[in-house]
Structure 1
Amino acid sequence: MTLEEGRQLPRLALLRELTDQHVLARLLDGGALTRAELATRTGISKPTISESVRRLVEGGLLEESGQQTGKRGPSGTFYRVRRDAATALAVSVGPDGVQVESYDVTGRPTGRLRHAVAVPTDAEHLGPLLGHTVRAAVAAATGPVRTVSVSVAGPVDQATGRLVALPDSPFVLGELAPRELLAPLLDVAPRIDNDVNWAALAEHAEGAARDLDEFFFVYLGPGIGAASVSGGAVRHGAGGLAGELAHVLTVGPDGRGVRLVAALAAQGLLLPGSPALDVERVLAVLASRSAPDREAGDQLARAVAGALASVTALLNPRAVVLGGPWGGADGFSSRVRAALAGLAAVPTELRTSTLGADAALSGARIDAVRRMQAALGGVPGTRHLPERENGPSGVPA
C-alpha cells in the first residue's frame, strides 16, 4: 500500500459513515424506501446508496419490507430501519411511584410498566422499586437498550446525578441516586434531570413553546418549579438548582416581601402539616365566584406574578409558559397576566402549557428517542418524532 493510499482510507471510511447516516436519516423520516428513492432524496449516486444499504442490512440495522409494484421496468426492493435494532427507555420517578415506557427505533411505543407507591414516600422505598421496574423493562425490550432518560421529582445535581435536598420541599425523596442505582442494570449511562426541566423541553419540542428558543416554564402543582430555557437548552445552574421559583421573593398577603411558597402558606393553601400545596383547594378557590375566594384567587395570581416579575427582569425570556395542575386552570393565566402587567419592568408574553400532566415523561421520551436515533447514525434534528397514539400514554391499550 502506498502512502497516498493509506491517507485515502480514513477519508473513505468517513464518506461511508456519512452516507450511512444519510440513508438512516431518510428512512427514519420516510418509512420504507427503495434504493432509487434513497438516491433521489439524498442526492447520492445509486451505486453508493446500494453499498450503504448492503452494509446496513449486514449490520442488522435495515431489513427488506416488500417489492415495489405498479411501475414499468424492474421492481425495486423497499428497505426500512429494523424496529428491533434499538430501544429507548423513558423513566419517571417520584412520590407517586415509577413508570417506564419503551420505544423502538422509530419512536413508536412498545411497552409500559407502572408501579404506584403510597404518598408520601422516600428514597428507601423508591430506590428498589426503580431498580426492579427498569430491570423488568430491559428484560422485555424488543431490542438492545441504547438510551435511558430519567425524570425525577426534585432538583438533580448534574455532576453527581443525585437529588438535591431543599427546605420546604413537598417531595422528600431523601438521598435518591438514580445514576448509581441504575448503573449495574444498564450498558449505557442514563441521563437524569428534574421533571420540570423535562416538561419544559417537551413544551419546546411539541407544546406551547415550539416557536421559542428563549422562555421560562413554570410548573404549579403540589410543588412549584420552573425551568429557564435558552437556545433550546435548559439552564441547570452550578448545582442543578436553577429555576427554584418557590424560593423567589414576592409580595405576601400583608404587603411584605416573602418567598412565594411562604406567600401561599399565608393564604392557607398548603396541606395540613406539609409543605405541599393543596391542589384541590387551590382549584376550588380559582373556580369559585364568591367574593372571598375571588379575592384569594387574585392574591394568588399577584403572588405568582410578583415572582415572575423578578424572573423576567433578570432573564428577559421571550415568553413565560404556565403549566401544572393549577397553572393551567381556567382563567388563571389571565389573572396572572393582568397582575404581571402592573409589576413587570420588562413586558413578557404569557402562555399556557398544552401538554398537561404527561409533559415531564414526554420530555424524557423525546430526549431518549432522539439520542437513540443519533446513536444509530441518523442526523440529529432532521426528523420529527411520531405523534403519540391512543391517548396520553402513547401505548396501545
Structure 2
Amino acid sequence: MTTYDLLATCASGIEALVGKELKDLGYETQVENGRVRFSGELKDIARTNLWLRTADRVKIIIGEFEAKTFDELFEKTKALPWDAYLPLDAEFPVSGKSHKSTLYSVPDCQAITKKAIVDKLSTVYHRRGRLPETGAKYPIEVAILKDKVLLTMDTTGPSLFKRGYRTEKGGAPLKENMAAALVMLTNWRKDRPFHDPTCGSGTIPIEAALIGHNIAPGFNRSFLSEDWDWFDEAIWEEVRTEAEAEADYDVELNITGTDIDHRMIEIAKRNAVEAGLGDTIQFKQMQLADFTTEEEYGVIVANPPYGERLLDKEQAFELYKQMGEVFRPLETWSKYILTSDLDFEEHYGQKATKKRKLYNGYLRTDYFQYWGKRPPRKNN
C-alpha cells in the first residue's frame, strides 16, 4: 500500500488540538503554524476526514522544494509524479498563496504551476493541446513561504466544519470545528452537566453531544476524494462501518442550550434533529439572568454576541456584567467565554484563571477560562 505525506490544516491557535486528535487516532505528528503533518495510507485519509473535529481539511503533499525563479518553479513542479494522482480527464484548479518569498505574484505562480502540470500530463498521456478536465476534481494548492514551495492536493472538498446538520444559521454563526475546539478546550466530561447560555443555532451543544456520544463528525457527509477513481469505495464503507461501531448512543448526557431569541431555539432544535441528537440536548428559550441550577461540577461554554457581531458595545458590556453576576456564585462550575473584547474581565468582574488566543475566522478573540472547584476525591 502507498504511504502518503499528509497535512491537516486548521485555524490559527488550535494546531495543538488537531495534533492531539491525530495522536489519539494513533498517528505520529509534527505541529506547525496552521497545520499538522502526519502520514498514512488511503484508509487513513478516509479515517481522518471522517473523525477530525477541529481541522479544516486533509491534504496530500505532492512535493516540497525551494524556488526563487519561475523557471525553477516550472521545472521542479513538472518533475513531480502528477500522473500518479491525476487521470487524463482530471479537473485540477490551482489556488495559491505566497508570503515573504521572491516569487510574490500569486496569479503568476498559479499559472506556472498549472502549465507545468499540464506539460507533465500531456507527455505521460501522449496528448497534444488542452487537457479535457471533464472528470473528478483534484484541487491543487501552491503555497510559497520564504522561497519554500509546498504543493498539496485537497482530499476533503467543502471544509470539514461543514458537518451537514446545520439547516439554518443565526446572524453570526460559529463554525462547527471552532465550536468543537471550544468544547475540547474545557474540562468537561460526559458524566457532567454542560450548558450554553447563548446557544444561538445550537452549534456548541451539538458538538458537545457528538463528542459525548463519540460520533464521528463527518459521518453524515461526503468527501471530494470519494469521487477519485483510484480511491476504492470499499475503504470509505469500511471506515464508516467502524465509526458506526465506535459510537456510544446509550450514554446519557446532560446537555442544555438556552437563548433569549425563541426563533434561534427553534432553529437549534431542528439542527439537533438533523444531527440525530434531538433527544440528547434540551433547548429552551431563557434570558441569561434567569439561569439557575442545583447541579454541581458542570461546564458553561458561551460565545456571546460581542461588539463586532450582533450587539452594540454597551449592550455587550451589560451582558458580560450579567454573566459575572449569574455565573460567579456557581463555584463548582467551570465557565469558558469566547469574545473579541479584550477587556471582558473588567465587565465580567473577575480575572480569568487562564486566557487563550483564538481566531474566529479572521477575528482575533480570547477564550476566557474560569475554573471551578474540583470534586472531592472518592475514597476507594
TM over 0.5: no
Larger Rg: 1
More RCO (CA 8 Å, sep 6+): 1
Q: Which has the higher helix share?
A: 1
TM-score, L = length of structure 2 = 0.29
